[in-house]
Amino acid sequence: MGRPNDLVQGTLGLLILKTLSLEPKHGWAIAKRIEQISNDVLQVQQGSLYPALQRLEQQGWIRSKWGETETGRQARFYSLTAAGKAQLGKEREMWTRLSAAIDLVVES
């Protein structure tokens, strides 16, 4: 039901890490950002972000802190850790290789 499709599930972690590499964000902002950047192509079930965030935090790739939004509300902000940065690099590289390979197959 609320689960993203297989491709996205595999890459949701990468998308989140990438999104957080610029600045700390709260959950909604992460979802928005992914949608915006991808021109609304990647429309995830927004809620499925939270299990993913929780998994990444447990891996030690992101950390969270409660803080205030511009509108003065309390929200949980997620930011990338050093380990997360390294992980992002790894996953990016993998993604590049994978997508290149898929391109090769599909375009040939």
Partner 1 sequence: MRWMNRLQKTLSTIVRRGSETARLDEEMRFHVEQEIAERVARGASPEEARREAVRRFGNRALLRDEVRRGWGWGWLETLGRDLRFSIRALMRSPGFTITAVAVMALCIGATACLFTVVRSVLLEPLPFHDPGNLVMVYEHWRANTSGNPYNPVSPGDFYEWREQTHGFADMASYYNSSLTVTGDHGEMPEMVAAQKGTWNLFPLLGVTPALGRTFREDEDQVGDHHVAILTWSFFQRRFGGDPSIVGKTFRMAARPYTVVGVLPEWFAYPDARTQVWVPYADGVTAERLHEHDNHYPYVVARMKPGVSLKTATDEVSALQYRMHMRYAGSPVAEDVMSRPMIDDVVKDVKTPLLMMMAAVACMLLIGCLNVSNLLVARGAARQKEMAIRGALGAGRFALLREQMTETVILCGCGGAIGLLLALAGTAWLKLHWRGLPRASSIHVDLTIVLFTFGVVGLTAVLAGVLPALSSTQRGVLEGLKDSSRGAGVGVSRVRLRKTLLSVEIALTVVLLLSAGLLLKSFVQLKTTDLGISGDHLLTLRYNLPKEIYTRPEQSVAFSQSLLERVRRIPGIESAGLGSTVPGAGWDGDEVFIVPERPKYESNKQPDAMTRHADPAYFTTLGVPLIAGRFFDEHDRLDQSNKVVVSEELVKRYYPGENVIGRTVVMGIDITNKKRTYEIVGVVGDTLWRVGQRTKATIYFPVLSGDTGYRATLVVRTSGDPLSYAIPIQKEIAALDPQLPVVDVLTIPEIVGESTVNQSLSASLVLIFAGLSLLLAGVGLYGVLSYVVTQRVPEIGIRIALGARRGQVLGLVLRDGLRPVVLGLLVGIGGGVAVGYVIRSLLYQTKPLDPMVFAMMATLLLAVAALASAAPAWRASSVDPMQALRTE
CB of 53 to partner 1, least distance (A): 8
Q: Residue 6 has which token pair?
A: 């297989």
Residue located via tokens 């205030």: 68
Q: How far is CA 12 from the centre of its chain?
A: 5
CB of 80 to partner 1, least distance (A): 15
Tell me whether residue 36 or residue 108 sits nearer to partner 1 (CB atom): 36
Tell me whether residue 46 or residue 79 sits nearer to partner 1 (CB atom): 46
CB of 62 to partner 1, least distance (A): 12
CB of 47 to partner 1, least distance (A): 4
- Residues in contact with partner 1 by the rule CB under 8 A: 1-2, 26-28, 31-32, 45-48, 50-51, 54-55, 57-60, 66, 73-76
DSSP-assigned states of every residue in the chain: --PPPHHHHHHHHHHHHHHHTTS-EEHHHHHHHHHHHTTT-----GGGHHHHHHHHHHHTSEEEEEEE-TTS-EEEEEEE-HHHHHHHHHHHHHHHHHHHHHHHHHH-
Tell me whether residue 2 or residue 39 sits nearer to partner 1 (CB atom): 2
Tell me whether residue 3 or residue 97 sits nearer to partner 1 (CB atom): 3
